[in-house]
Structure 1
Amino acid sequence: MEKSSIITLCYRKIITINNEKPWDQLVFKDSYTELKMQAQYYNAKNEFRTFSQLLQHAPNAQQLHFLTSAAVTPYLSQLNATMPDISNNLGRLFLKFKSFRFEIINSDFNDIEKHSVAINFFSEELYLLNQIGSYLLTTTVNGETDENGAMPTELFNIPPFLSICNIKL
């Protein structure tokens, strides 16, 4: 077999009031509650109504991404290190994540409907075996086969918000 590239994928999951899955709604509501609580430190006089205004005018307000992530972290353990929403051609969730980064896209401290966040999931390293149109064929083993000479693979379509973020040739 030819030498394959090693890739890391990033999936950006955007969560808004419109997400219907129970897990998404818990993340949505708890991140909004935590943001409002943490933002009080940077917005003591209630001068700013939105997160973007707070970022523009309050020193160190960018720390709110990290501070708010504390409310989201417990929900990530429920995923068992498996990225949500990304399934293989058999319809099974399969893609393991190694790390994540939480971010507040925007929010209005008086209107929960304008709250939106993103969780960027970064996969463990994968070996890219082939690209077939918009599909990737990957494996987590580097040319290792079982006793029958077979190698486990995953074939999946590249959905929106999934990207190759690192590649080693």
Structure 2
Amino acid sequence: MPDRIITFCYRKIIGASSGQPWEKLVFEDTYQEFRLQAQLYNPERRYRTFGELVHHAPGAEQLHFLVSAAARGYLQQLGGLVPDVLDNLGKHFLKFSQFQFEIINSDLQDKARHQVAINFYSEPLRWHDTVGSFLLVSEAAGPAVAPGEVRTNMVQLQPYLSIYSLQQLA
């Protein structure tokens, strides 16, 4: 099987029922930032939900970007590793180089309806083979352990984790 270079995308959805401390902090701070930034597009307080704002208020699509500022500091706490994605040894290994923040839903009067997503895009990986239900991968430009030898990880696809891009090597 020829090697391929892949990039994963992991979609982390955070809402009122998210249980991890990191998720709760992102939830609280992005909701507060949403309420603050929404005032720019809703000075007369005619609209209640994110969907209404985007539909009726010109420029409200910018709320994704404006609210993302509240999540950036928390992303730094991850140390460049995608949350929730573990290799078959139970270790975090998947490094992300880019992310995209998105408001899925929110309500200015009901915090429980606030929901955001963070899409993490991994650094490129070399996909060597598939073993059972696991992908055998290594860093695309990773250092050799010894001549002709590289460190690998085995990862299983899971909900919200997909191969975002694929490059076939000659």
Shared fold per TM-score greater than 0.5: yes
For residues 151 and 52 of structure 1, do their structure 2 counterparts lie closer, same or farther at Cα, with a shift above 3 Å needed? same
> Which structure 1 residue ranges, 5 or more long, are not aligned?
none
One-letter amino acid of the counterpart of residue 96, structure 1: K
Answer yes or no: is 1:157 the counterpart of 2:151: no
Alpha-carbon deviations, 1:3-61, whole Å to 9, x = none?
41100100000001111100000000000000000000101111111000110001010
Identify the residue that residue 60 of structure 2 maps to in structure 1: 61
Displacement of 1:147 in angstroms is 2.8
Identify the residue that residue 76 of structure 1 maps to in structure 2: 75
Q: Normalising by structure 1, what TM-score? A: 0.94
Displacement of 1:72 in angstroms is 0.4
Deviates more, 1:149-158 or 1:119-128: 149-158
One-letter amino acid of the counterpart of residue 34, structure 1: E
One-letter amino acid of the counterpart of residue 85, structure 2: I
Deviates more, 1:63-72 or 1:136-145: 136-145
Kept after mapping to 1: 8 A contact 2:124/2:140: no
Give the secondary structure class of the aligned counterpart of 1:109.
Answer: coil
Mapping for residues 1-169 of structure 1, pairs under 5 Å: 3-141=2-140, 145-147=144-146, 149-169=148-168
Give the secondary structure class of the aligned counterpart of 2:37.
Answer: helix
Displacement of 1:136 in angstroms is 1.0
For residues 129 and 20 of structure 1, do their structure 2 counterparts lie closer, same or farther at Cα, with a shift above 3 Å needed? same
Q: Percent identity?
A: 48
Give the secondary structure class of the aligned counterpart of 2:10.
Answer: strand
Output the CA distance in 1 between the equivalents of 2:145 and 2:92: 23
Output the CA distance in 2 between the equivalents of 1:7 and 1:150: 19
Q: CA RMSD in A?
A: 1.6
Give the secondary structure class of the aligned counterpart of 2:114.
Answer: strand
Output the CA distance in 2 between the equivalents of 1:8 and 1:141: 10
One-letter amino acid of the counterpart of residue 63, structure 1: Q
Alignment length (residue pairs): 168
Output the CA distance in 1 between the equivalents of 2:143 and 2:49: 52
Displacement of 1:151 in angstroms is 2.0
Alpha-carbon deviations, 1:66-95, whole Å to 9, x = none?
000001000011001000000001101110
Output the CA distance in 1 between the equivalents of 2:59 and 2:65: 11
